[in-house]
Every structure is written in C-alpha cells, then in structure tokens.
Structure 1
Amino acid sequence: MDVAPWIWWVTGAVTVVVFAFDLLIVGRRPHEPSMKECTAYLSIYVGMALLFGVGVYLTSGGQYAGEFYAGWLVEYSLSIDNLFIFIIIMSKFAVPRELQQFALMIGIVMALIMRAIFIAVGAAAINQFSWVFYLFGLFLIYTAWKLAKEGGEDEDEYEENKLVLFVEKRFPATKEWHGKKLFAHENGARVITPLFIVILTLGTTDLLFALDSIPAIFGITKEPYLVLTANIFALMGLRQLYFLIGGLLQRLIYLSYGLAFLLAFIGVKLIFHALHENEVPFINGGEHFDYDWLEIPIWLSLAVIIGTLAVTAVWSLLASRRMEQQEQDAATGPRRDWEDG
C-alpha cells in the first residue's frame, strides 16, 4: 500500500481537528452527556470509519479495505473490554459524573499519542526482523489464555500502576475537586488535583492495553497507515461508548471469552505468517515454510472476527437475561451505583 506523505499529514491534521472539536467545543462545559448526544456523535464516528473503509477500497482495493475493517473491529472490541477498567477507575476515584467526560477525552488523547509511538516502533521492528511475528504471536496466545482463565472474575481488582503511585507520593496533591483544573493552589502551594491523577491513570492504563491491541492489529495488517487509522477510529467513539453502554457492559458476561478466542486466532495467524517468512536459523534450517495455507486470507479473518463478536454478544445477552443479579455480579463484577443513572 503506497501512502503519499501528504496523506499522512492530512490524516494527522483531520485527527487533530476532530479531537480538538471534541475537547474544546463538545467538552467546553462539564456535563454528563445524554443518551441522544452519545448516540449522535457515536453514529458520526462510526459512519466516518465506514466511509474511510470505502475510500480505502476505491483507492487501494478490497484487500486493504478488508484489513482496515478487520483491524478497526478488533481494536473496537478490545476497547469495549477496556471500558470495564475505565468504569472501575471512575468509581475508585469517585469522579463526579459531570467531569467524567472531560477526563475521558484527555485520557483518550494521551492514549492516541502513545499508541502512535507504539505503532511506529512496531512497524520498524517488523520491517527489520521477521522473527518479531513469533514474539507477537506467542504473546497474544499467552494473553488469550490468561484472559480466558480469568474470565472477567478479577475485573474489580484494579490496582494503580507504578507511575501513578509515584506521582501521588512525590507531588503535593489535594483531595478537593476544582472543576476541570488539573492544578490548584492551597495554603500558598501549587498542588495537583484528583482530576490530574484520574487522567494520568486513564492514559497510562490504556498504554498497558496497547501491549496486546497493537500486536493484535499487526496480525491483521502490516500497513502502518491502516494500523494507525484503525486505532484512531476506535478511540474516537470510545468516550460516547462509555456513557452509552455503561449498563449494557454488565450483561456482556462472556466478552472476555470472545476476545480471548480472537486474540488466540490472531496469535496463531501471526505465527503462521512467521513460519511462512521464516528466517530463524534453528527453525527449518532458516528456510521459510512454503505452504499457502499458512497465510490466512483477510476475508476469513474478517468473517471470524465478525462471527465471534456476534456470537459472544448474543450468547452473553441471552444468558444474562436468565441470570439473577447476584450471578451477573459474579460474572462481571458488582453493578455500580452510577450505572443506574
């Protein structure tokens, strides 16, 4: 896929404009977005992603369009799973509902910047060393096994990462909320507010999520431009999705198993690709395996992704309807009071 430099620049500029609009216009007034507002903006972002895929199809063909759609769906599905942790973070820090939208927007912008760095490093690595696909594949299979084993049972056991703990211990902080301010003055001293800690937690937590989401999408497409744009579109609607399906997340009791299957599938796909391109001396004498079936076609990947997500969603919703509240709490963690709002 040949992407001209000006396309990269235009993509970056449009991304900045969209997030700036979301941050400065939509989020200028701290408030809890209504269902209508979330649905409207989420529909716009999803529509933009679908139209972008059509543009890829018209300019570069069906193969790359399929890779974009598959990568976007994978990133979106992983983002939905991440919303469980975001809910726990908001609850842990008792973030006022009217400030949650602003905190999410800043955290998402931070996540996008850090993911862009990850993507650049990952693209450079796979271009120089084909054996990286072995590492990515094995890591995803391990992650899938761990996710399936946990099965969402530890969703309520979030622990602050070391960077957040370091900041909390080393810098003077206040427990008082000061609106959208990240810093405030108390007793003549400059202190960080709880909102600063929350945003730092959201951003760094998403960076940890990128450790499996970035290798996963490289298992779908090797094109850095498609990897980046799929991540951009997945993050664009994440804030609206947080408010729109907060209660619905409680009913997606088998989401972890569906995502575990997807990560395992992509991990195997990466290992197959590594074998097909093998250059590791102690594997097959450094020669690649010349079997066409080792390269799983994008149409099959897309079918597996859509099918898995559909089956997982339907299976979860049907099963949750037959469960008592106590059983749902055991599967996905206890329902939080803010979800009733």
Structure 2
Amino acid sequence: MDVSLTLWVLTIVGLCALIGADFFIGRKPHDVSIKEAGIWTVVWIVLAALFGLGLLIWGGGQPAGEFFAGFITEKSLSVDNLFVFVLIMGKFAVPSQYQQRVLLVGVLIALVLRAIFIAAGATIIASFSWVFYIFGAFLIYTAWKLIQEARAEEEDEEWEENKLLKAAEKRFGVADRYHGTKLWIEENGKKVMTPMLVVMLAIGSTDVLFALDSIPAIFGLTQDPYIVFTANAFALMGLRQLYFLIGGLLKKLVHLSYGLSVILGFIGVKLVLHALHESGVHVPEISIPFSLGVICAVLIVTTITSLIAAKKQEAQEAAKSADLPGGEQSEAKQLKAEDGSVKSERSKDDIEA
C-alpha cells in the first residue's frame, strides 16, 4: 500500500487528537466503573473498525484484511499483557483512583517505543529478506515457551523490576508514598521520583518486552509499516479501558496462553513459508483471509473452553467445601464470624477516632 507523507502526518495527528481527548476526559483521578470502561472499549473498537473500513474503501481488500488480522492479533496479545499489568499494580499498591492515569501514560510510552521498533523492523525487512527466518523461528520458540509456562501453572507468579527501572530508582531515589498524580517531589533539598512515575515507567518498559513477540507476529501478517503501526496503535489505545472491563475475568481465561501459543506458532510457520517463497522455493503461502479465520477461531474456542474450565473449577471447589466435616465447617464459620466482628470493632474505633 502506497502511503504518502501527508497521510502519515494526518494519521499521527488524528491519533494524537484521540489520545489527547482520552487524557482530557480521564484527567481527574477517579475509580473507573464497568459502565465507563465498557462504553470506551466499544468506542475504540468502533474507531478501529471504521479505520479498517476506510482502508477497504480507499486501499482495497488486501490492506483492510491485513489491518483486521493485525489488530485482532495485537488485541489478543495485549489481553495477555494485562495479567502482568495486574501484578505491577499490586506490587506498587497503586490506589484504584490513580490506576487509569498510570495506564494512560504507560501505554503512551509503549506506543512511542513501539513506533521506533516498527520503523527499525521495516528497515531491516526491506534490506534483508532472510530476517523472516529469524522472526518465524522466534515466534515458534515463543509459542513453545508459552505452552511450557501454561503447563507449569505458577500460581504464585510475581513481577520483577527490569534492570533499567532498578537503575533509575537507584539514581534518582523514590518517595515512600504517593503524592496524588505528581511525578517528582522535593525531599531534603533533593528531587526524587514518586511511586506514580515508577509504576508508569514499569508499565511502559514492560510493554516493550511484549513488543518482542507482537511486532514480529504482525510483520508475519503484513509488511506494510503503515498497517503495522495503526494496528498496534488502535490495539494499545483501548488497553486502558479493557483493563478495567475484564479485570475480574482475567483469572477465568485459563486457556488464553494455549490459544496465543497456537496463534504465534501459526504465524511463525507462515513467516517461514514466506521466507522460503522469497528465496525461490515453491511452497504454498498462507493467505490473509485464511490467517484471519484461524486467529478468530482459535480465540473463540479458547474463550469458550476457558469459561467452561473455570466454571468446572468453581463447582469442584464448592463441592469440596460442602464435603467438609460438620466440625470443620462450624470452625470455619466461627473463624469467619470472629474475623468479621474484629473488623467491625476496628471500623467502630476508626469512626470514634
């Protein structure tokens, strides 16, 4: 797809305007309701669909198909990222009313860094077609690694700060508490970072690591930098609202890693076949409509099986609770009652104080 400099500029200006509107609307720290998150999630998906429709009208079916395949892939991979975002929010004990600001700035940082990654990737691909072998092999390895991690079922998973973040904390220092939405404060005559800035950097820098998977994946669906960038942009910009909308459902998507591993492995094979084709080897290439169908089918099946598995697990846990001996049940109820009375007394003391 031939994209002029004018179209690039207009696209970036339009995206900046949307980000600015999103920031202006959510500028006041508040707890994001399910209704608000749901409305904005729909808005971002509709905007992405309209953009894809525009590509269909002015660019044809090929660019539109590549955009939708890329957008759905990036969106599904971003849902997996939310698991880590939940861990980061918990580690830094981010107050609920500040979480939407953290995600907005963190995603903005990630978008800028991904744009650099995409530009570098497009340049490398244009110069060296053999890089598709590397991308394909990397995606297949990542798919295998995802399956291994899913089978391990590490319930006590913890997020660890990367070296860059640790270095920044050591260099500038970090305040011992949040100061609203301030990023820097002065302590003992020295400027130090607030936990708000640290968690924003954590979200942004962690997403760069996710880009190592998602950027090669989308280049496996399209080599057009414009489509790669816009698909990433629309997938990322709705991530903040998606975090609040499906936060409670994340634990129920128990088979998501398996589904993502199938998608990444499939795209990895597609990249290898494309590389062989570019090298003059006569092999069948996987079309975009077929790729889009496989991606959607895998996500639908994964979601359905995840919800069924989660429901069975809840039923088994309920059955185990019902099978407890009468004495143990009574003791559990008594402990719960005592815990409730203690909390009640504490609340009463707090009110009196």
TM-score by length of 2: 0.87
Q: How far has the Cα of 1:33 moved from its partner?
A: 1.1
Aligned residue for 1:2, secondary structure, equals: coil
Asked whether 1:2 is paired with 2:2, we answer yes
1:130 and 1:107, CA in 2 relative to 1: closer, same or farther beyond 3 A?
A: same
Per-residue Cα deviation, 1:278-304 (whole angstroms, up to 9, x for no partner): 2xxxxxxxxx1023x1x1011110000
Asked whether 1:277 is paired with 2:278, we answer yes
Task: State how far apart, in whole Å, the 2-side matches of 1:153 and 1:115 are.
Answer: 30
Residue type of the partner of 1:145? W
Equivalent residue number for residue 160 of structure 1 = 161
Residue type of the partner of 1:22? D
Task: State how far apart, in whole Å, the 1-side matches of 2:27 and 2:212 are.
Answer: 32
Question: Identity over aligned residues, as a percent?
Answer: 55
Residue type of the partner of 1:7? L
1:283-298 correspondence runs (5 A): 288-291=280-283, 293=284, 295-298=285-288
Equivalent residue number for residue 102 of structure 1 = 101
Aligned residue for 1:247, secondary structure, equals: coil
Q: How far has the Cα of 1:325 moved from its partner?
A: 8.7
Asked whether 1:197 is paired with 2:198, we answer yes
Asked whether 1:39 is paired with 2:31, we answer no
Moved more, 11-20 or 316-325: 316-325
Bigger Rg, which one: 2
Equivalent residue number for residue 138 of structure 2 = 139
Asked whether 1:300 is paired with 2:290, we answer yes
Asked whether 1:309 is paired with 2:308, we answer no
Task: State how far apart, in whole Å, the 1-side matches of 2:270 and 2:140 are.
Answer: 10
Structure 2, unaligned stretches of length 5 or more? 318-353
Contact 2:74 2:235 in 1 (8 A): yes
1:1-341 correspondence runs (5 A): 1-23=1-23, 25-151=24-150, 153-154=153-154, 156-278=157-279, 288-291=280-283, 293=284, 295-324=285-314
Q: How far has the Cα of 1:326 moved from its partner?
A: 9.2
TM-score by length of 1: 0.90
Task: State how far apart, in whole Å, the 1-side matches of 2:153 and 2:239 are.
Answer: 23
Aligned residue for 2:192, secondary structure, equals: strand
Per-residue Cα deviation, 1:16-73 (whole angstroms, up to 9, x for no partner): 11111112x1222101111111111111110010111111111111111111000000
Residue type of the partner of 1:113? V
Task: State how far apart, in whole Å, the 1-side matches of 2:95 and 2:64 are.
Answer: 41
Residue type of the partner of 1:253? V
Moved more, 72-81 or 178-187: 178-187
Q: How far has the Cα of 1:173 moved from its partner?
A: 1.6
Residue type of the partner of 2:147? A
Task: State how far apart, in whole Å, the 2-side matches of 1:139 and 1:206 are.
Answer: 18
Task: State how far apart, in whole Å, the 2-side matches of 1:211 and 1:217 are.
Answer: 11
Aligned residue for 1:323, secondary structure, equals: helix
1:32 and 1:113, CA in 2 relative to 1: closer, same or farther beyond 3 A?
A: same
1:296 and 1:180, CA in 2 relative to 1: closer, same or farther beyond 3 A?
A: same
Equivalent residue number for residue 284 of structure 1 = none
| Alignment coverage as a number of residue pairs | 315
Q: How far has the Cα of 1:264 moved from its partner?
A: 0.3
Contact 2:172 2:191 in 1 (8 A): no
Task: State how far apart, in whole Å, the 2-side matches of 1:204 and 1:127 are.
Answer: 27
Task: State how far apart, in whole Å, the 1-side matches of 2:217 and 2:231 are.
Answer: 12
Aligned residue for 1:322, secondary structure, equals: helix
Q: How far has the Cα of 1:154 moved from its partner?
A: 3.9
Task: State how far apart, in whole Å, the 2-side matches of 1:154 and 1:175 are.
Answer: 30
1:238 and 1:325, CA in 2 relative to 1: closer, same or farther beyond 3 A?
A: farther
Aligned residue for 1:130, secondary structure, equals: coil
1:205 and 1:325, CA in 2 relative to 1: closer, same or farther beyond 3 A?
A: farther
Residue type of the partner of 1:274? A
Task: State how far apart, in whole Å, the 2-side matches of 1:184 and 1:326 are.
Answer: 51
Contact 2:142 2:264 in 1 (8 A): yes
What root-mean-square deviation, in Å, do the aligned CA atoms of Structure 1 and Structure 2 show? 1.3
Task: State how far apart, in whole Å, the 2-side matches of 1:10 and 1:47 are.
Answer: 19
Residue type of the partner of 1:91? G
Contact 2:217 2:264 in 1 (8 A): yes
Task: State how far apart, in whole Å, the 2-side matches of 1:14 and 1:210 are.
Answer: 23
Aligned residue for 1:184, secondary structure, equals: strand
Contact 2:30 2:97 in 1 (8 A): yes
1:305 and 1:6, CA in 2 relative to 1: closer, same or farther beyond 3 A?
A: same
Moved more, 50-59 or 75-84: 50-59
Q: How far has the Cα of 1:235 moved from its partner?
A: 0.7
